[in-house]
Structure 1
Amino acid sequence: MTTDHCEFCGPGRRKFLTGLVAIASAGVVGTASAQSQTSDPTSARRNWIDVHHHLVPPGYLNQVPEDDAVPGASATPRRALAGWTVERSIDQMDQSGVSTSILSISNPGIWFGDTGKARKLARDCNEYAAKLVAAYPRRFGMFAALPLPDVEGSLREIEYALDVLKADGIGLYTSYGNKWLGDPAFDEIFAELNRRKALVYTHPTTADCCRNLQAAVSPNVVEYQTDTTRAIAGILASGTASRFPDVRIIFSHAGGTMPFLIERFAGWAKTPQVAKRLPKGLNHELERFYYDTAQTSNNVAMGALAKLVPNSQILFGTDYPFRTVVEHVKNLTECGVFNDAQLAAIGRGNALALMPRFGA
């Protein structure tokens, strides 16, 4: 990895850190109420951590090509992104008893075919997220964006995000073009993340192969969950999971369709070409991954996931602003799958084990 880029020089770093100190008084991120009015009497005691909470930096949507805003989807998701504000995020959190949200960039991501633009967009998004964390240190954390499939630029951004911005982890998409996580093209990235014992949050997208397959079916209905499943399969089949065991991976949406395909996964994992990549077995790997509850906080999805992995591997997530924080808390607490102790772990304890700074 090289570090001779001007953005890593001393003056640039000092300028950024100075900006962090000034951000709270500069009015860049606005203000938010300390505690919104709520009809939920338990919200003040809940103190949960949302690991799947999106932000929309100023000007981000202006850099997204219109046809790439939400590929194949209706205009509704773009409106949700356009309506995002810091104040609305915090109000949602306060209404439901969520103390902290870990911010990440949602679809359509960072890459639109131009390496230079992707590097700049990733840097701009990460620095804006870091400013929010500095302004609201108890309310927000961040998973840094990378300009993949640009590997060299991504290695530099990992270094900057973790060493300078002090990001809580790195955000990856489940696929890039027609390459899923686990592809050898991403080995350098995983090697560096493994060296750092990094926390990695993954978000689904639509691979090039599977855009606009059904005009009436938005990709977030079927393709996102399928893309997560393909990424899990790729990480297992390539040996990425076993070769880089210190990377702690969070899969969105309860692992996509993987829990419902577990019988097929189990048979496939016994084939010689896959078994040799899983020296500790399929269950060992699946049971050490983490899975969030975003858009799956119902008794069918949670029931399947809870039978597959230990409760310690389930994390609370909401997919805000595409869905509300309030409804996820309500659905999860009322789904009937978890007792109070398990809900407390999913809502906070499991995330604190990964990001202990929020318990200080």
Structure 2
Amino acid sequence: MNRIDVHQHVIPPDYAQALRAHGVTAPGGRALPEWSPEAARASMARAGIASAVLSVSTPGTTFLAEPAQAAALARSVNDYTAALAQAEPGRFGFFATLAMPDVTAAADEARRALDDLRADGVVLLGNAAGTYLGEDGQDDLFRVLDRRSAVAFVHPADLPAPAVPGVAPFAADFLLDTTRAAYLLVRNGIRRRYPNIRFVLAHAGGFVPYAAHRMALAIFNDTGRSPLDILDDFAGFYFDTALSASAAALPSLLAFAEPGHVLYGSDWPFAPEPAVHYFNAGLDTFPGCDDSTRRNIQRDNAIALFPRFGATAPAPEPPLLARARTSLRRKLFRSVARAIARR
């Protein structure tokens, strides 16, 4: 019961109302789920999550064409989530929403959220209305984040292209969106110019751990930079395990990421609770992880980024309860795997 979840979403009432008023009912191809603080607390208890850093998912504020309205909605979302975090500081933190692609408004809100609201970082979409994170012209925002050694959580968005019939955006497009943003952050030198920003890539970095060597050669051909330096930039991202703690994905992620750079993520409530438990079981039973590695992923690596959560460490479970919980997770993992195999 001690996980720190860096990828859990919040859907404030005013934000949900604004989405529905503009016809946004299935962001990323999934129906907008119900959310409340009470439901979040209950789900966290069932999933063994002690603390969660909350963030708004795609589409952020990009569904609003008027920049002033987008900036106002970002402020409203951040005020709501800050109040939740301040009321339960050991349980909740938050990544501030920024009204990208308006860089000036985003930089202003980042200052307010980080300095006044005590946000734990900011959430940045891979692309905001077709403008990719890492493109030219975003230095004003990166300077604000770098001066504060901010954590920047990079979450995918719908690709700036028509969806392919039969391919839900969250299933495949999201992974490409994150990878494109990471590529530009490395290719355009942002990782080097702003070394104090701790970028966290959602969903194990999309394709980054698996295609980094290929991308490094492409960037070398384009810029002449050392491929080894490029690989260091890619490996220096942080990565969360949301929907990615599988026996296929974890070996590549752990082999590629710098030590201490893999963090636990659930993606609740957009990932339904059975999916959260399935991937929790995958992490708990993965033979390539010893107890120390598992503890680092599920808690200690996050404390290095968010030390305030370390002051509220929960009491350890009694050994008998811990063994029973592990047994139940193994059974759950096997039953879900059999159910998927039968489909």
Aligned with 2:40 (options 89, 98, 101): 89
Corresponding residue SS for 1:60:
helix
Corresponding residue SS for 1:200:
strand
Q: Deviations over 1:194-228 (max 9, x none)?
A: 121111111000132x232x121111111100000
Equivalent residue, structure 2, for 1:305:
253
Equivalent residue, structure 1, for 2:242:
294
AA at the equivalent of 2:293 = Q
Equivalent residue, structure 1, for 2:286:
335
Report the Cα distance in structure 1 between the residues aligned to 2:172 and 2:203, rounded to whole angstroms.
12
1:245 maps to 2:195: yes
Equivalent residue, structure 2, for 1:53:
8
1:266 maps to 2:220: no
Q: 5 Å matches for 1:208-287?
A: 208=160, 210-212=161-163, 214-271=164-221, 273-276=222-225, 281-287=229-235
TM-score (norm 2): 0.85
Q: 5 Å matches for 1:85-124?
A: 85-111=36-62, 112-124=64-76
Q: Deviations over 1:242-287 (max 9, x none)?
A: 111111100000000122223312322432x3343x6971222122
Report the Cα distance in structure 1 between the residues aligned to 2:291 and 2:283, rounded to whole angstroms.
11
Report the Cα distance in structure 1 between the residues aligned to 2:115 and 2:95, rounded to whole angstroms.
13
Bigger drift between 169-178 and 247-256 goes to 169-178
Q: Deviations over 1:91-124 (max 9, x none)?
A: 1211232110000001121122111111111011
Bigger drift between 339-348 and 325-334 goes to 325-334
Report the Cα distance in structure 1 between the residues aligned to 2:215 and 2:57, rounded to whole angstroms.
28
Equivalent residue, structure 2, for 1:23:
none
AA at the equivalent of 1:329 = N
Quick check: 2:208–2:234 contact (8 Å CA) kept in 1?
no
Corresponding residue SS for 1:161:
helix
TM-score (norm 1): 0.81
Quick check: 2:28–2:157 contact (8 Å CA) kept in 1?
no
1:142 maps to 2:94: yes
Bigger drift between 135-144 and 92-101 goes to 92-101
Report the Cα distance in structure 1 between the residues aligned to 2:101 and 2:84, rounded to whole angstroms.
27
The structure 1 segments of at least 4 consecutive aligned residues displaced by more than 3 Å after TM superposition are 65-72, 325-328
Equivalent residue, structure 1, for 2:267:
319
Equivalent residue, structure 1, for 2:319:
none
Equivalent residue, structure 2, for 1:77:
31
1:187 maps to 2:153: no
Unaligned runs of 5+ in 2: 312-343
What's the % identity of the aligned pairs? 34
1:161 maps to 2:117: no
AA at the equivalent of 1:307 = A
The offset of 1:67, in angstroms, is: 4.2
AA at the equivalent of 2:61 = I
Q: Once superposed, what is the RMSD of the aligned Cα atoms?
A: 1.7
Count how many residue pairs are aligned between Structure 1 and Structure 2: 306
Quick check: 2:7–2:54 contact (8 Å CA) kept in 1?
yes
Equivalent residue, structure 2, for 1:30:
none
Bigger drift between 332-341 and 288-297 goes to 332-341
Report the Cα distance in structure 1 between the residues aligned to 2:58 and 2:65, rounded to whole angstroms.
15
AA at the equivalent of 2:197 = V
